[in-house]
Amino acid sequence: MSVAHRAEADGAASPIPAVSVRDVAMVFSGQAAVTDASFDLDTGRFLTILGPSGSGKTTLLRMIAGFQHPTRGEIAINGQPVSAVPPHRRRIGMVFQKLALFPHMTAAENVAFPLKMRRYDARNIPARVARYLDLVHLGPYADRRIHELSGGQQQRVAIARALVFEPDLLLLDEPLAALDRKLREEMQLEFRRIQKELGITTINVTHDQREALVVSDEVIVMDRGRIQQMADPMRTYREPANAFVASFIGVTNRLTGVLAEIGGDDVTLDGGFGGCVGRWSPSAGRSPRSGEPAIGMLRAEQIRVGALAGNGTGLDVSVRAEIVDVIFEGERVVYEARLAAHPETVLRVFDHDPVGHDVHPVGALVRLGWNRRDLIVFPGT
């Protein structure tokens, strides 16, 4: 629940959101890129807009920045509608995937550029530039030109340049997409540190699920131009609003079938693989009905794999399977296992203790098990 919503619940006056998006839509050549997007973002929060390519996330960010004008709806920043406000007057800092740093300038000169464009007092510029270079741990590199800096250091220069004029809002458009995995993960933590230290309201766009969960206070998941869910990272992962969110966040197995038995929120999904007990998703907004089509979503790390002779003690569901592939990823082993009762169904399983557990070879007959709370069941389509 956001600060604004908590205040309403307590009967207090609601603070003005840093960003308010109301029924915003964007249509290109008759095709809807964004449809009926609405959300509020409180001051000082870090929001990530997450989704696959073509989901509308970058279009939504560009409308907030002012680079594109909504076909319908309104966007307000700190309570003020910005439809008639050009981008350069919105006090927004931006970091893009293509950093657009000036190669002929030093790191300090790049950071100083927005201040000079805004006609800040020249006497105060060096101290402010030094402060923000120190913030991103680049103080000793102030006099280096851009080509003399590593990719991660260039990212830090871009961050300092976006923040040096103290904007009301920081927008990040997949700035880490071109970095290698290790550097990208380091910079994710760096973004979070800087944002928390300054308390600046931030909206980040990415297709990287880990990045969204690591850096954010709140996550919006988009698909086909529509917001599917807005929640904090833990709730987004553990309580997905629908089957799309469940499948997009993390590695999730999909089981389709019909509801055979219903006992409150506990349901049995029958899809030819034997009855699997799961829990009906509260986001469905209604009670389950026996015989209706349904989709069960089961995360790979919630499945336990053991020798066939084991009995799956302590687990609500136990099924037999054959290992069809084994992938060693260092910190975990990834199995693909075909269900004995339903060969068309192959589940992906993560074992995060490859040292302590036996590794099952291809062709091994095993027992897979999980608890009913781990299988989230949604209405079928």
**CATH number for position 362:** 2.40.50.100
Note whether 104 and 226 are same-domain residues: yes
pLDDT in tens, 46-92: 999 999 999 999 999 999 999 999 999 999 999 999 988 998 888 99
Total domains in the fold of the chain:
2
Q: Based on the fold, state whether residues 224 and 256 are members of the same structural domain.
A: no
Residue with tokens 């079938």: 257
Q: What is the 3-state secondary structure (H, E, C) of the chain?
A: CCHHHHHHHCCCCCCCCCEEEEEEEEEECCEEEEEEEEEEECCCCEEEEECCCCCCHHHHHHHHHCCCCCCEEEEEECCEECCCCCHHHCCEEEEECCCCCCCCCEHHHHHHHHHHHCCCCCCCHHHHHHHHHHHCCCHHHCCCEHHHCCHHHHHHHHHHHHHCCCCCEEEEECCCCCCCHHHHHHHHHHHHHHHHHHCCEEEEEECCHHHHHHHCCEEEEEECCEEEEEECHHHHHHCCCCHHHHHHCCCEEEEEEEEEEEECCEEEEECCCCEEEEEECHHHCCCCCCCCEEEEEEEHHHCEEEECCCCCCCCCEEEEEEEEEEEECCCCEEEEEEECCEEEEEEEEEECCCCCCCCCCCCCEEEEEECHHHEEEEECC
- pLDDT, position 308: 80
Residue environment code for 341-367, b if the CB has 16+ CB neighbours within 10 A, otherwise e: ebeebbbbbbbeeeeeeeebeeebebb
Whether residues 206 and 227 fall in one domain: yes
| Domain shared by 255 and 169, yes or no | no
Which CATH number belongs to the domain containing residue 105 in this structure? 3.40.50.300
Mark whether 224 and 158 lie in a shared domain.
Answer: yes
194 lies in the same domain as 294: no
| Residue 323 pLDDT exceeds 60 | yes
Residue 359, pLDDT > 80, answer yes
Question: Is residue 267 domain-shared with residue 371, that is, in the same domain?
Answer: yes
Question: Are 75 and 140 contained in the same domain?
Answer: yes
Same domain, 258 and 125: no
End-of-domain residue from the set 210, 243, 276: 243
- CA separation for the pair 267, 258 (Å, rounded): 10
Same domain, 179 and 216: yes
Question: What is the reported pTM?
Answer: 0.88
pLDDT of amino acid 70:
95
Note the pLDDT tens digit of each residue in 240-290.
999 999 999 989 999 999 998 888 889 999 887 777 889 999 888 889 999
Residue 8 has pLDDT above 50, yes or no: no
- Phi, psi of 39, rounded to the nearest 5 degrees: -170, 160
**pLDDT score for 367:** 92
pLDDT of residue 4: 41
Do residue 211 and residue 280 come from a single domain?
Answer: no
pLDDT of 11 higher than 70 = no
Domain boundary among 243, 270, 301: 243
> Which of 223, 243, 263 corresponds to the end of one domain?
243
| Domain hosting residue 333, numbered range | 251-379
**Pair 160, 114 in one domain:** yes
Taking 70 as the threshold, does the pLDDT of residue 12 lie above it?
A: no
Contact at 8 Å (CB) between 269 and 315?
no
**Residue 108 pLDDT:** 97
Q: Is residue 352 predicted with pLDDT exceeding 50?
A: yes
Q: pLDDT tens-digit profile of 166-194?
A: 999 999 998 888 788 888 888 888 889 99
